[in-house]
Every structure is written in C-alpha cells, then in structure tokens.
Amino acid sequence: MTAAVSGLSVRRAGPLALLQDAGRFGVRQLGVTQGGPADPHAWAWANRLVGNPWGAAALEITVGGIELVAERGLTVAVAGADLGATLDGEALPGWRPVAIREGQVLAFAQPLNGLRAYLAVVGGFRAEPVLGSVACVVREGLGGHDGLGHKLAAGDSLRVGEEAGRAVPPREAPEAERPDYRGAARLALLPGAQIGEFRGASLFDAFNAAWRVDDRADRMGVRLTGPLLHCRVTSMISEGIGLGAVQVPPDGQPIALLNDRQTIGGYPRLGALTPLAAGRLAQCLPGQEVRLVAVARERALADYRRFRAAFA
C-alpha cells in the first residue's frame, strides 16, 4: 500500500458525511454494531468505477451541503443519490469516473434524487482502522477519518493513497444500475420467525399498504408510518438483530433497522429486508412511499449473488 497523503479538505461541512468501508465485523458480541454503507449498491458502484475492490473506504454524503477542496489531482466517482454535485460550479456527472485537479472545489447541494451519495477515489480513502474497520459510527465513537467516529467537519482533511490521481478507464454504470430513487420503492422482505404472531389483517396490511418513510430516520433505523400492526407478542427477551430487521414495537408502526442499529433488541419482527432492500430504503426521503414485498430466500439469495458477482 502506498503512503497516505492529504487528498481533500473540508471547506464547508454538510449535515452528515461519513467514511465507510464494508463495515465492522466479528465484534458484535461485544455490543459493537456493523456500520458500513447504508446503501451498499451505490457505495459499491462508486468504488467499482474507480477500480477499487469491494471494501475500499468511500465517503457517504447524506443530504448534501458539503464542499471539498482537492489538495492534489484525484480521480473520483460519485454514485447513488443526485445531490446536485458540482465541480467548480459546473454540474458533476455521476456514475462515472471524473478527474479533478488540485484546488478544484467539489460541492454537494441538496437531494434531487435520493438521499445518500457515495464519493470514491482511486485506491480508497485512508484512515486508521478501529476494531478492524474504518466504518464511521458516530454513536459508538468508532472509525471514520479520525478514528473517533466523528462526522466530517470544516477544516478536516481526508487522506488518500499516492495513486489517487491515477487515470482509470472511462466507463459509466449501466442505466439499469442507476435507480430512480424518487419512485415508490418495493422493498424485498424475508419473513421472520414471529410472522405468524401478527394478526391476519395486520399481515395483509403489512404487505399491501403504502408505507410512508417517517422523518424519524437515520443510520440506526427508519420508521414507517401506516396502518397499525397488531402482534400477539408485544415484547420479547432481547436477542441479536440482523441488518434490515423490521421490528414492530407496541405502537404498531414498523422500524427497519439499518447499519448502525443496536446489536440486540426485544421487539417482534415481521422479518428482515434483504441487504439491497435496506440500501434502497436508505435512499428514501421522509414522506416517500414504500411497499413491503415478501420474497423467498432462494430468490433473495440469487439477487444478492448477482449483485456481488459484479464486484468480485
């Protein structure tokens, strides 16, 4: 690995920008959560477009509002949400590699299509891993550019490898891989062990109602509002919860748990969103409509394998 040098400095910090590699694994029995990109699809594409392997650290920019100054020539790619990215004031095309020169200003404005954009650089952003990962989890104070779980602030600097300015073959992500995040999202859900504890009418509602993304949504979880779901089990002894688990607390409104969820919890669950569905939900803005669609494990696994095969 080449030496780390300063690549980008933060001129203005937006609401939330976090360094994310694939996530922090093998430490959940210590109460440490997974972290990693809320939308692995867009994160993986940003990395792929600049030739990075799966797992390279990229910057997850939520909502926008951030301005970055290039400290050297860099080859970058932005994938995921359209946050109105510009380079020196000119629209920056997404889903393809872009060369930027020292001193140029890369700015993200506000969500135009989706909520989270991923900025990848050739060789990945560099930071000291904490518990095996640079995934930034603010609540736990772990990872990120400073190792302490801080979101990016004005004056911070992001380090890159010396190869970060290397040219890469020009290419674009295929149209089919660039979701229109504004449309109603259909979220694939694998039914879980408590599915039989929900009343029939609630089960019908769960998979037929239009759910709305609540404004109580973050990297821990996204609350959905809609018809009240009744489960015969109201609380359980806390147990391990996986990515995408859709729990239903006694208020009857489901919460889909994402990357920064607590490791254990005690509410009954409809099941779990697939990793790709969890990522799709992470791109939804408050008020947006989503639907839950039950899928079989074989189907979900085939979809996931197809996705990952492109990023070997």
Residue ranges that bind other proteins, judged by CB under 8 A: 25-32, 34, 130-131, 139-142, 190-194, 196-197, 232-233, 237-245, 262-265, 271-272, 274-275, 297, 300-301, 304-305, 308
Considering beta carbons, is residue 1 or 237 the nearer one to other proteins? Answer: 237
Task: Output b/e per residue, 92-127; b: 16+ Cβ within 10 A.
Answer: bebbbbbbbeeebebbbbebebbbbbbbbbbbbbbb
CB of 286 to other proteins, least distance (A): 22
| CA proximity to 77, closest of 64, 57, 63, 96 | 96
Considering beta carbons, is residue 35 or 64 the nearer one to other proteins? Answer: 35
CB of 188 to other proteins, least distance (A): 9
Considering beta carbons, is residue 146 or 162 the nearer one to other proteins? Answer: 146
Q: How far is CA 41 from CA 73, 217, 280, 293, in A?
A: 26, 19, 8, 19
Considering beta carbons, is residue 183 or 240 the nearer one to other proteins? Answer: 240
Considering beta carbons, is residue 3 or 309 the nearer one to other proteins? Answer: 309
The contacts of residue 106 (CB under 8 Å, 6+ apart) are 8, 67, 68, 69, 70, 76, 85, 86, 87, 92, 100, 119
The contacts of residue 152 (CB under 8 Å, 6+ apart) are 10, 13, 17, 18, 59, 66, 145, 158
Number of C-beta neighbours around residue 267 at 10 A? 21
Asked if 81 contacts 117 with a C-beta cutoff of 8 angstroms, the reply is: yes
CB of 55 to other proteins, least distance (A): 13
Considering beta carbons, is residue 77 or 276 the nearer one to other proteins? Answer: 276
CB of 272 to other proteins, least distance (A): 3
The span from the CA of 160 to the CA of 5, in Å, is: 5
- What is residue 198's DSSP assignment? B
CB of 72 to other proteins, least distance (A): 31
The span from the CA of 117 to the CA of 94, in Å, is: 9
Structural Rg of the chain based on CA atoms: 19
Considering beta carbons, is residue 181 or 198 the nearer one to other proteins? Answer: 198
Strands 66-70 and 97-100: unpaired
